Structure 1
């Protein structure tokens, strides 16, 4: 089934948790005729939150893809999580999407995760429209939210709609409709009839002057982009709606503005215009620049692929749903045609894969197709080795696209099977879960034999634990979560490592002088190099020493054996004897030098610092500030809005375990919070002392 490129929209719905993303998605599916009832998050009846854990918690955990039609367009829509623990789901979706709908709550405005997803969309250059939701809530503030989008996100929002009223029905000025500034019409919504109806009428007299003022605000940034628009305005002639939409589209695709709409998804107000906005203002695959990559067979020469079905096939794996009878791999097709039973190249892994079946995905349902073309998103069954971020391409025209980078894990816990019979089953299950979730890690501790699982936060690990117990029926024992520390050095040290040993009856000798120092190099945690004079020692011996230093660096530091980072080791000099100086001797000398240097260069324990945002009634502000100080935290900023206090703070993850319970007791259950990894910073000496080996 091939779809016309200009009619395809690959979009994501992204936002902070509880802004209403899934409710917006459910309304879109209902109004497009894809579903026959409106799913409710609170009742666990939504299309896209089909996992049992999602329905129990009332939050989105896994991104879900749905395809539907709207006004002769095909929309591939991905509903993404809002909780920061599952930010990888947003990351990988934005990597392959062409446009985004960013949802904001009119009451809470721009929240912590709103900033994160906006930054992610900026990084991947995703054009977007904004939807200010929950206009029916008490304290809803359209203009305040618009200002926050402009100031906090450094964006250029342009309102193309304004609300009529704000707040719940019992208020005199309750939210009751919207004004379309492009058509200059008033829209009211009747959801009691089937299909739901939108009534267009002339703008009420008491709203007309306000609408004209907002329309001028909308047009001002567009005059510089269109001479025709400017000339019509100067001549005081009517400006056609189609011309305004055309200029708005041009400005949106070039990232100069972000059109802003408003409504209440729960009440079914304003969602159809958002769908219209998707077709009017967000890009089709042919509006997106050709994807860039390298040709691995030509010394990584630059390659591009246009969204053209006649070009060689090229696609990117961005999500895997493991299953016993064959994983479902989600692929964004960038160029060419992909057919069932075709043979594909994975250039990153230098392997060939078999594409057995193709499926268009409808959340938990799917429809099999024989082929898909450029610009589409498809589920593939039959791939055995490809993982998230891998490129798939035509075997005769190799191209390697940029992969997807994910943040490092910050929290770990040990997990062990209750019986040896469960051990193999646990190992297989963890491997399957690692394929599904690129931010999930599972390793076996060499010291204890325990399996350690790592993730992005307490909720992330809790969801994984529940999955193991409930979905896979594994009888496992879980230990308390622990922080993922790092190690580095605070200074520099020049030392000499030696080897004077008898091994296998042979006297071994080697001396190696190294310099170990701190460098800021996040791309490569441990850098090993040599400045040893080449005529002094055979290079094969130096290579053996460098390999040992690299292995020691990968093995961890001297405080608690935690992963090392930002360290540079330079071999300065070496000595050999006439006999007994071989690879083994130099490896032993390198190991001795590494241990001495690490201890002499002032080892430092690094702990993850979290960015914490708290929203609480103003009368609890002092309690929260005091509590954060007790947790070794610092207050970055406080502000008040609509009778609530907003606190931005930075605090060590080690002090934030179980914070949601403490927060509830501090505020009688009236506060909310979100946190995300911010940076690694030096931990106090008393914390380091608890790990010293």
Structure 2
């Protein structure tokens, strides 16, 4: 049976089975392929599709899979036909119409192997985007032609910049009312700072969207047939020829500003050929100095095939990207591992190096997603986890297509694949030769911003509850679990209310364990207002070996842009504090920072500078200095001036124009600061900075005041001092929980 027939049978079985369990589908859809073709490295693309929520990422991926022959029919994201999009394999995703987990797939287009990761758009699942971009070579930034550059677009753009990922921009939804691609292009330049220009012109907008003009090739492209699969090339309409030439010249100017070769041709007034322009676009796209913009509407099946061509023409193959590993056996002068350039050759001559970027529980155990950066791995080989130094045999290698799998015998550099039965954490590196001791640079994990109390409804479900929580915290580093000994509550922390709500629903669906979530708790922080010195002596000598340690120094607040950090500086000189006791001082500082004495929240934005101290030749130890610095911080709490910091969120609210005043009033009542407004004739987008503590319940208020038409998104911006009344309330609540409030003390007396 051919692979195409095999996938057709799978799609039919999937539609028939519909609501059967995920495990059954996973088992049914697994097939065995004896070997993989070693596709030339130049014919491989590893890309991600990222954007603000509801920009059309999953719909675009569905069209890509259809046009490349990976699936035989297309389905809608919301699952109105009871099937749902291929990449949204989780039942919750189909019900809500949003992507919750990133999903990997692979397909072929014009003899090129394209590995695709479809990522969530909601800020609550931002770590899925983070780890996908960490292992990808290129990306497609999808923008809504009506919404334009929105809050999560800014976040995705920062993530691409962090990992130096080249990208194409695709302006989607040109069929929507109010579509304005020119406005979005200007926003891309102004808000995101991209040197960008369009490769396409739309032939009509909104309901009159008929096709696109390729300004590079100087041709009109029409998408015909029931699903837009038939492409008709024609001449540019006469009334658009002048505009097309103007846009072509604008494109050449933007690329010339970033490319020396085309720039020289431009200055010498030479006319560049189509191949000259394409080569220059590729060079500048790879160096992230120019962003090509393509247009289309995925839902109406227009513009997807030219986008696929652009992926092949302009985005990098694995050999175009320099990937480095850290050599733990070779340290520089500062004691940090030196970087080693990895070789992506697919001949298997180099030692195997890979990075585990995502974990998922499967029917056959833990499913670990990996990206191979160097060498070759065969089924049955033994790999080593560099972090734990554990060895494990790989019994099975699979390539993924959403929730379906395909067994392979070997993988080589540039491949994205998965293995079963490997116990590891997200971000671990694997090698076949442990003597190399190479590790890949880790994945950035943002701090959690919301905490809620959680408990199973039935005490009998505690075992299922523990298993589910253990699995979810392992899979998702932004979902954290702790136990509050003071309030005797189990606390889960995440990136937002939706994030925690989704995991509560998954506990009920996947582990048959209904849970109750308590009122959300915001992750406040405590910091000093001004520097405060300390001189603390810890002395415990009552026969036998005692404890003696003295610490002298200062704790000072960090600048506002660093107020989420904790820094320890050893500024001691001489023998007063022996160097072997310094780690004890640092550990004591970090331990005390876990829970402040003002409101019970973590300390942040502080720098502890240890200047001097004293030790005893017999009674001093690392433990003594550990306890001494804790006593010093308690002393600073009594003598210093402290304040509470709260997370401030960047909020974007999109509403019809008639509701603009009502929304501004709501944001002002929630102590928000309006930072900008943007809009067209019908819709207005209001940007504001609002304390997270004030945002709970905003969604229901927004819907009721806008007749259900308004929508909003928010993302973490920074920590800022809390309002005096908020700080007083937090301190009062903490004192009452501790039994140390003035009223309670008076009652005791």
After TM superposition, the score normalised by the length of structure 2 is: 0.85
Q: What is the rounded CA distance, in whole Å, between the counterparts of 1:686 and 1:189 in structure 2?
A: 60
Determine the structure 2 residue equivalent to 1:335.
374
Q: Does 1:294 align with 2:326?
A: yes
Question: Would the aligned equivalents of 1:361 and 1:367 in 2 still touch at CA under 8 Å?
Answer: yes
| Equivalent position SS for 1:625 | helix
Check the 8 A contact 2:135/2:357 in 1, yes or no.
yes
- Specify whether residues 38 and 567 from structure 1 end up closer, same or farther in structure 2 by C-alpha distance, changes over 3 A only: same
Q: CA deviation at 1:322?
A: 1.8
Q: Report the equivalent of 2:198.
A: 159
**2:19 corresponding residue in structure 1:** none
SS of 1:317's equivalent in the other structure is: strand
Matches within 5 A, 1:177-576: 177-192=211-226, 196-223=229-256, 225=259, 240-289=273-322, 291-299=323-331, 300-309=337-346, 310-323=349-362, 325-384=364-423, 386-395=424-433, 396-498=435-537, 512-520=551-559, 525-527=566-568, 529=570, 531=572, 534-535=575-576, 546=585, 549-550=588-589, 552-571=591-610, 574=613
On the 8 A contact 2:195/2:254 being kept in 1, the answer is no
Q: How far off is 1:581 after superposition?
A: 7.5
Question: Per the alignment, do residues 63 and 415 of structure 1 end up closer, same or farther by CA in structure 2, a change over 3 Å counting?
Answer: same
What SS class does the counterpart of residue 296 from structure 1 fall into? Answer: strand
Give distance in 1, aligned partners of 2:663 and 2:497: 21
Deviation at 1:127, TM superposition (A): 1.3
Distance 1:550 1:101 in 2: 44
- State how far apart, in whole Å, the 2-side matches of 1:314 and 1:401 are: 8
- Distance in 1, matches of 2:453 and 2:61, equals 37
> Which residue does 2:54 correspond to in 1?
18
User: 1:365-401, CA deviations, whole angstroms, 9 ceiling, x for partnerless residues?
Assistant: 11000111111111112311x2211211232433112
CA distance in 2, matches of 1:526, 1:197: 61
Query: Does structure 1 conserve the Cα–Cα contact (< 8 Å) formed by 2:538 and 2:624?
Result: yes
Contact residue 498 and residue 588 of structure 1 kept, 8 A: no
Within the candidate set 651, 655, 660, 2:699 is matched to 660
Deviations 1:535-591 (A, max 9, x none): 5x7777x65972673354243211222111122334555568999888777665544
Report the counterpart of residue 173 of structure 2 in structure 1: 134
- Cα deviation, residue 510, structure 1: 6.6
Match of 2:209 among 144, 152, 175: 175
Question: Is the 1:526–1:564 contact (alpha carbons within 8 Å) kept by the matching residues of 2?
Answer: no
TM-score (norm 1): 0.92
1:613/1:393 CA distance change after superposition, 3 Å: same
Partner residue in 1 for 2:33: none
Question: In structure 2, the residue corresponding to 1:113 is in which secondary structure?
Answer: helix
Residue of structure 2 in register with 1:62 after alignment: 101
The aligned runs of 1:22-61 (5 Å cut-off) are 22-43=58-79, 45-61=84-100
* 1:495–1:593 contact (8 Å) kept in structure 2: yes
CA separation of 1:589 and 1:377: change in aligned 2, threshold 3 A = closer
User: Contact (CA 8 Å) 2:256, 2:266: kept in 1 or not?
Assistant: no
| 1:595 to partner: Cα distance | 1.1
> Greater CA deviation, 312-321 or 473-482?
473-482
Q: What is the root-mean-square deviation in Å for CA atoms of aligned residues?
A: 2.8
How far apart are the structure 1 equivalents of 2:550 and 2:288?
59
393 and 552 in structure 1: CA distance in 2 versus 1, 3 angstrom threshold:
closer
Indicate conservation of the 8 Å contact 2:262/2:280, yes or no: no
Residue 171 of structure 1: aligned partner:
none
- CA 1:243/1:579 → structure 2, altered by over 3 Å: closer, same or farther? closer
Residues 320 and 631 of structure 1: CA distance in aligned 2, closer, same or farther (over 3 Å): same
CA contact (8 A) 1:548 1:591 kept: no
Please, which moves more after superposition, 678-687 or 316-325? 316-325
SS of 1:432 mapped into structure 2: helix
Alignment: residue pair count = 682
Structure 1 residues 560, 526: CA separation in 2 closer, same or farther (over 3 Å shift)? farther
Partner Cα separation in structure 1 for residue 132 and residue 172 of structure 2: 22
